[in-house]
Structure 1
Amino acid sequence: MSVKMTIQFFSSAFFLLLITNCQQTQVNKKPNILLICVDDLRPELKSFGANYISSPNIDALASKGVIFQKHFVNSPSCGPSRYTLLTGQYGAAGNNALFRRASKIYQGIEVEKSMPEWFKENGYTTVSVGKVSHHPGGRGGANWNDSTKVEMPNAWDRHLMPVAEWQHPRGMMHGLANGEIRKKADKMDVFQSVEGNDNSYPDGAISNEAVKQIGELTSNKKPFFLAVGIIKPHLPFGAPKQYYDKYQGVKLPAIKHPNKPESRTTWHGSGEFKKYNSWGKNPNKDSVFADEVRRHYAACVSYADAQVGKVLAELKRTGADKNTIVVLWGDHGWHLGEHAIWGKHSLFEESLHAPLIIHYPGMKHEGHKTDAIVETLDIFPTLCDLAEIEIPKHIQGISLQKILNNSNSLGHSAVAYKSNASTIRTVTHRMILHKDGFVELYDHTTTERETKNIANQYPQLVEDLKKKLYARLH
C-alpha cells in the first residue's frame, strides 16, 4: 500500500470513528426538555376544539403529541400556578409564592429542590427565557430586575429577560406596541392592534432570545432544560394587526352561561380587566364591545402561537428536536364572559382549565387526545420519568407516562385553591369548599354544569369529596 493510500485509509477510518462516536454520544445523551409556558391561555386553540382560532404552530405540535383535554391548574393565578409547576408541590395562594420560598432559602431554611434545580443536579444546563416564574426574568425589585432578589435561587444557569425598548421586565409584562409601558392602568387601553412585525410587541424579543439560546444549547454536549415563557394573551390584549385581521368577519361562538350567578360563588367583578381603559364600556352589557374584546384575545393567541412556532422551528433546524421532550402548558384559564367574568381568579372551570400538550421523540400515540383528568403538579414527575431520572420523594403529582402510552388510561381528581376557597374536580363533579364551610357542588354530566349548585341535594357526596380534598391538600 502506498503512503498516499495509507494516509487516505487512516483519514477515512478516523472520520468514520468520529462520526460513529458523535452518533453514539447523541444516542446516549439524555433527552433535552423544552417547556413552553403561555400566560392566561385557556384552551382556545383549534386543536382543543375552538375551530375559529388560528393556532397552526401549537396545533402542529398537538398533532405529534398527546393532547390533555382535561388538564387543570392548581391555582387560578399566575404566581401560585407556576409555583406548583416548578416545585411539584402545593403552595401559598398568592402571586408571591415563589418569592416566599426564596426567602426561606436566603434565611438558611432547607426547602425541597425545584424542577429546574433537580434537572440541574442530574446533569442538565437549565435556562429560562421570559415569563417562566411569576416575574418575567425571575427577579424582584421595583422594576423586576434586581439581581439580589431572585425568585428561584439555585434553579437556573441562566435566567434571561430581554426587554428591548420596554426598558425593564415590569415594562415588558404589561407592554403595548413599540415600547409603551403601563404607568397607570386606566391610561392604557384594554386592547390594541397596530401595524408592525412580531418585534413591535414584547413577545417578539422573548422568542428571539429563545431561538438564540437553542442555538447555543445545542452546541453543548450536556442535555438542556430550556423554559420559555410567552406573555400574551395576558392583559392588555395587544398584538400586531396582522393577527387581529385573521378574525375580521369571523363569527364567534356564543358565550356560554354569560349571566352572573345568583347564589354565592367565587365570582368576582373582573377587577383586573376593569383597571384598563375600556372607554366606559361594559362587555356584560355591550355585546359589540364583548365581541371586540374576544377578537383581540384571539389575536393575542395567534400572536403567541407564532412565537411558539419560531422556537419549534429553531429546535427542528438544529436537529435537536430528535432528542427533545416538548411540553406546552397554559398557566391557567381565563373567562371571556362566562358567569359574567372577564378575567381569572375564580374557581370555576374557565379559570382552571388550561391546555397541556406533551410530545417526545418516538412516542407511540402521536396526535391522540385524552379525557383523563390531570393537573399541573403531574408535569414534574412526568418529565423525570421520560428523562429516566429519579422522581424526588417530595413530589405531590403523579407521572402521566401511563396515559402517554395509553390515552385511554384513567387520570385522577384535580384540586385547586385560592386564599378563601378550594376545589376538587372529578370526572363527574366539581365541589368548591369555602373557608367558612359553604359548599358549591356542580354536576358536569348535566347541561347546567356550573350554573346550578346541588350541594344540598347530595350531602353524602359532599362529605366524600371534602375528605378527598382535605387528604390532597394536607
Structure 2
Amino acid sequence: MLAVVASSFAQKKEKDQKRPNIVFIMSDDHAYQAISAYGHKLNNTPNIDRIAKNGAIFNNSFVTNSICAPSRAVMLTGKHSFINGKVDNVQEFNWDQESFPKLLQQNGYQTALIGKIHLDGLPQGFDYSAVLPGQGHYYNPDFIINGDKQQLSGYVTEITTDLTLEWLANRDQDKPFCVLYHQKAPHREWLPAKKYYSEYTKMEFKEPKTLFDDYSNRGSAAKSSEMNILQHMNWAGDSKINPEVMEELGIKETSNWGIGALKHNLGRMDAEQRASWDSIYGPINEEFKEIYPSMSQKELMQWRYQRYMQDYLGSIASVDEGVGQVLDFLKENGLDENTIVVYTSDQGFYLGEHGWFDKRFMYEESLRTPFVISYPKEIKPGTEVNEMVQNIDYAPTLLDYAGVKIPKKMQGESFRKLVKNENTEWRDAIYYTYYEYPSIHMVKRHYGVRTHRYKLIHFYYDIDEWELYDLESDPNEMKNVYNDATYAEVKTMMHKRLKEMRKKYGDSDENDQRFLKEYLAKINK
C-alpha cells in the first residue's frame, strides 16, 4: 500500500513539474508606444523587449474597457465588464466569482498577487497577497500583506519587485506557481526613482504628430473631454510646479486636488528622498519662473509635454529594470525554460496624441495595449501575432497552458494556437464599452466595434452621436466618416457587426441603463 501511495505521489510531482509556471506582469497605464519593441523609438525598454525577442509580440492587443479597475476585473475573470459586474471604478468587484487564479489554485498551483490590483476587498485565489491599497503611493508606500496593512520604506516599483523575488525564492518548489507581479507605475501622478529622474529630466522627446489636434473633424465627445495636456493636466501634481511658484506667476491650478496631490506625494518622502528630489526639481521650477512670462500657448504646450514625458518615461525605466531582475532570477534558478512570462498593461494611454493624456476613449492609443509573452518550450523566438486579441482572452489562455479546463462562462478564447502559428479560426472584430461618465476627464459613455480596418463608436447618455473611422486611410483617427456617402455600405456593415457583437457577448441598452442608474446613485450619495 505504501508503495502505491509513494508511486502516486511521485507521478503527481512529475506531472506538476512539467506544468508551466506563470509570471504575469502588468503595469498601470503603460502605452505600447513606450515599449521599444513596438518600434516607436520614444524610449528604451530592453528587458521587456527580451520577452518579445525570446517569444511573441502581439501587434493588435486591445482592452474591452479602458479604465483601471474594470480592466483588471476582465483580466481575472475572462468576462466583459457588463458580465463580471465591474463596469467602472465606482462599482464594487465581486471576488466570489470565478477567476483564473482561483482555478489554478484549485488545480495544484501555488499562487501570489503582488503590487497593484485596484479592486477593493481581500483578494481571493491567492496563497499570498501583498497589494497596494487603492492607487498606492510611489514613495514609502503602504502594502496590505495577507490582510495586514504596513508601510514599507523605499520606492514602490523596487519594493514590488523585491517582494516578488522574495516570494519566488521562498515558494513551495514542489508545486507549479503563478505570480501576478503588478506595478503601480506609470500611473499618474508620475514620480520616478532618483536614479531615473536625474537622467530623464534632462531628456527631450519627439512630439506626436497630433499634439495640436483641434478635433474639428469629429463630434462633441472628443471636444468636450477634459484631458488636454495644456488645459487639464495639473500644474503641481503632474508638472511638478511648486505652489509658491504658481502663486508668484499667477497660475491657477486646473483641479481642486492638484496642489494637494503634490504636497501629499512629496510629504511621504523621508528627508534624504526629499532633498534629492528638490535638488533636481528645484532648478526646474527656477528655470520655469524665468521663461514662463514670455511663452506662447504653443510653447507652453510643448513645455508641458516634455515635463509629462520626462516623468512618465522615467517611471517606466524602473518597471523595465524590475522585469530584468525577475527574468534573471528565472534563468539563474533554471526556471526560464518552463515558465510563461507575460508583460502587459491594464490599458493603453495617450502620450500627447490628440493633445491628450489618460485613456478611456475607444480611439487607438487608449484601446490598444502592449502584450508580449515568452515560453521557450512552445513559443518560437521572434514570433509576431497580428490577429486581434483582448484582455478577456488572458484567463482562458493561461488556463489552457496550465492544462486546466476553461469554464464556459468565460467569454474570451485561448490564443495558444495563434502563438504557435497553427491554423485556427479567430475573431475578425472586437467589442468595447466605457461607462464612467460624468466623471474626471469627462469622456462620454460609449460602446463600439472594431475590425481590422474599420471602427464604429456610439456615444450616448447626454448625447447620441456616431463615429466611423477608416483605420487604413486614417490611422490617427482624425476624420469621422460616418456621414460620408462613400462609406454608406461600410456603415451598414459595421452596424450589423455591432449588433452581432452585442448579442454574442450579452450586452444591451438595458445593461447600459441599469449601470448608469447604479453609477449615478453612487456618485450622488
Give the alignment partner of residue 302 of structure 1, picking from 306, 314, 317.
317
Partner in structure 1 of residue 237 of structure 2: 276
Matched residue of 1:129: which SS? Answer: strand
Q: For residues 380 and 296 of structure 1, what CA distance do their matches in structure 2 show?
A: 32
Q: Does 1:45 find its partner at 2:77?
A: no
Provide runs of 4+ in structure 1 moved above 6 Å.
21-24, 281-284
Q: Where is the strand percentage greater, Structure 1 or Structure 2?
A: 1
Matched residue of 2:192: which SS? Answer: strand
Aligned positions of 1:9-408 closer than 5 A: 25=14, 28-43=17-32, 44-91=34-81, 92-97=86-91, 99-102=92-95, 105=96, 111=97, 113-131=98-116, 133-135=117-119, 140=120, 149-150=121-122, 152=123, 154-161=124-131, 169-170=133-134, 173-177=135-139, 200-217=154-171, 219-244=172-197, 246-247=199-200, 252-258=205-211, 259-262=213-216, 263-264=218-219, 266-267=221-222, 268-270=225-227, 273-274=233-234, 276=237, 278=239, 279=241, 280=251, 285-406=300-421
Q: For residues 117 and 205 of structure 1, what CA distance do their matches in structure 2 show?
A: 25
- CA contact under 8 A between 2:62 and 2:369: conserved in structure 1? yes
Q: For residues 411 and 228 of structure 1, what CA distance do their matches in structure 2 show?
A: 29
Q: For residues 351 and 176 of structure 2, what CA distance do their matches in structure 1 show?
A: 40
CA shift, 1:290, in A, is 1.0
Partner in structure 1 of residue 446 of structure 2: 421
Letter in 2 for 1:57: N
Letter in 2 for 1:31: P
Partner in structure 1 of residue 496 of structure 2: 464
Q: TM-score, normalised by structure 2?
A: 0.71
Matched residue of 1:465: which SS? Answer: helix
Partner in structure 1 of residue 460 of structure 2: 435
User: Closer, same or farther in 2 for the Cα pair 1:347/1:58, shift >3 Å?
Assistant: same
Q: For residues 128 and 368 of structure 2, what CA distance do their matches in structure 1 show?
A: 31
User: Closer, same or farther in 2 for the Cα pair 1:450/1:465, shift >3 Å?
Assistant: farther
Matched residue of 2:170: which SS? Answer: helix
Matched residue of 1:343: which SS? Answer: coil
User: Closer, same or farther in 2 for the Cα pair 1:123/1:266, shift >3 Å?
Assistant: farther
CA shift, 1:277, in A, is 5.2
Q: For residues 466 and 398 of structure 2, what CA distance do their matches in structure 1 show?
A: 35
Q: For residues 260 and 414 of structure 1, what CA distance do their matches in structure 2 show?
A: 28
Q: For residues 460 and 265 of structure 1, what CA distance do their matches in structure 2 show?
A: 23
Partner in structure 2 of residue 192 of structure 1: none
Q: For residues 117 and 448 of structure 1, what CA distance do their matches in structure 2 show?
A: 40
Q: For residues 38 and 408 of structure 1, what CA distance do their matches in structure 2 show?
A: 31
Deviations 1:23-70 (A, max 9, x none): 983785321111111110011111111224121111111111110011
- CA contact under 8 A between 1:203 and 1:307: conserved in structure 2? yes
CA shift, 1:233, in A, is 0.7
User: Closer, same or farther in 2 for the Cα pair 1:25/1:179, shift >3 Å?
Assistant: closer
CA shift, 1:86, in A, is 0.3
Letter in 2 for 1:330: S
CA shift, 1:124, in A, is 1.0
- CA contact under 8 A between 1:443 and 1:449: conserved in structure 2? no
Q: For residues 176 and 450 of structure 1, what CA distance do their matches in structure 2 show?
A: 34
CA shift, 1:178, in A, is 5.3
Q: For residues 292 and 311 of structure 1, what CA distance do their matches in structure 2 show?
A: 30
Matched residue of 1:175: which SS? Answer: coil
Deviations 1:408-458 (A, max 9, x none): 976532222111211222100111112354211111001364111111233
Q: For residues 336 and 408 of structure 1, what CA distance do their matches in structure 2 show?
A: 36
- CA contact under 8 A between 1:215 and 1:318: conserved in structure 2? no
- CA contact under 8 A between 1:200 and 1:240: conserved in structure 2? no
Partner in structure 2 of residue 447 of structure 1: 474
Q: For residues 334 and 233 of structure 1, what CA distance do their matches in structure 2 show?
A: 10
Q: For residues 88 and 357 of structure 1, what CA distance do their matches in structure 2 show?
A: 18
Matched residue of 2:104: which SS? Answer: helix
Q: TM-score, normalised by structure 1?
A: 0.78
Matched residue of 1:100: which SS? Answer: coil
User: Closer, same or farther in 2 for the Cα pair 1:286/1:423, shift >3 Å?
Assistant: same
User: Closer, same or farther in 2 for the Cα pair 1:174/1:48, shift >3 Å?
Assistant: same
Deviations 1:331-374 (A, max 9, x none): 10111221222111222111111111111132242122222211
Q: For residues 505 and 203 of structure 2, what CA distance do their matches in structure 1 show?
A: 43
Deviations 1:86-133 (A, max 9, x none): 000012321245x3324xx4xxxxx4x1111111111111110011x3
- CA contact under 8 A between 1:201 and 1:238: conserved in structure 2? no
Q: How many residues align?
A: 406
Letter in 1 for 2:334: G
